[in-house]
Amino acid sequence: MLDFLIPILTTTFMYSTPLIFAALGGVISERSGVINIGIEGIMTVGAFFAASVAYYTSNPWLGLMAGGVVGGLISLLHALASITFSADQTISGIALNFIGPGLSVFLCKIFFNGQTKTYPIHNKLPKLFYNLDVTVILAIIAAIVLWFMFKKTKWGLRIRAIGENPYAADSLGINVYRTRYLCVIVSGILAGIGGAVTTLSVISQFSPSAISGQGFIALAAVIFGKWTSLGAYFSCLLFAFAQALAVTFGGADFIPSEIINMLPYVLTIFVLIFFVGKSCAPRANGKPYIKGER
């Protein structure tokens, strides 16, 4: 029995880690009132730069940091459009989802002799007991830190206040623009790390399909987790468990492989249909803030 369960659990944690980092990024951005549906594009850019830096330096930790830094820089575009220029946050996020894959494939063809994927990364991130990646532990720590920040710190209270009523927060002396900028940048860093984990731990190389829907699944986890870090964490485990089942039973003769491979995406749609109406987003989520106007 353990020989059957341990591989499923290990695979679940492996596939959940990129989702967890991306979902935590979505939580902190949306708690401040900025929708970031560009997580998919940010993850793709993070995945490419992480794989490239790890390949050229033979250091996966530098690759992981590169993915986070580039994710933060790309998210600045979203922050500039949605916060400074009060652009529609959904459209800005969609733009990132086009920019991310396009930029990654373009640079991949330049730096890797016209190929659409990097060479395999031989120096992967270290493994722990039961062949678990160290990033599994880092994801747990990140979720707990965000929970503590939102529940126990003044900065977390300010973020929640801005997400509910930025004008009231501004009247109390809280800098709404600066706080939202920081949250969107941190959101990009976490999403970039999520993409980096994919290419440094899961598939060990970059390809145009390296990030294929994970960003949108992470957003579904944010909603299903009711915009809380721990809720998003356990939601990602649920979605990853569906992926683990798809991997485990993908070669089974009694179930068509097409149906098995659909499990994670069907579960995402199911969650959005039956739970999205029961989750209450921060009241100012998606609404641009213009100082002096109400």
CA distance 141 to 137: 6
Q: How many CB atoms lie within 10 A of CB 269?
A: 11
The dihedrals phi and psi of 127, each to the nearest 5 degrees, come to -100, 155
**133, β-bridge pairs:** 127
Angle between the N-to-C axes of helices 229-248 and 2-31, in degrees from 0 to 180, rounded to the nearest 10: 140
Q: Profile the chain (294 residues) by mean pLDDT over runs of 10 residues.
A: 75 93 97 95 95 89 95 96 93 94 90 69 76 90 96 94 93 93 97 94 84 91 92 92 78 61 74 67 85 67
Ramachandran class of 240: left when φ > 0, alpha when ψ lies in -120 to 50, beta otherwise: alpha
Per-domain boundaries in the chain? 2-278
pLDDT of residue 36: 93
Distance of alpha carbon 260 from the chain centroid: 24
pTM: 0.92
pLDDT of residue 23: 97
55 half-sphere exposure, CB direction, 13 A CA radius: 19
pLDDT of residue 49: 94
Output the six-digit token pair for 18: 């990129």
Q: Does domain 2-278 have CATH number 1.20.120.450?
A: no
CA distance 60 to 190: 16
pLDDT of residue 5: 78
pLDDT tens digit sequence for 236-257? 998 898 888 777 776 555 566 6
Q: Residue 131 in contact with residue 144, Cβ under 8 Å?
A: no
pLDDT of residue 186: 97
Pure H helices in 133-228: 134-152, 154-164, 166-171, 176-197, 214-224
The dihedrals phi and psi of 227, each to the nearest 5 degrees, come to 60, 35
Q: Residue 92 in contact with residue 81, Cβ under 8 Å?
A: yes
Of residues 242, 243, 237, 211, the one with CA closest to residue 224? 237
For the chain, report the end-to-end CA distance as a whole number of angstroms: 60
Angle between the N-to-C axes of helices 39-57 and 214-224, in degrees from 0 to 180, rounded to the nearest 10: 130
Output the six-digit token pair for 84: 């400074």
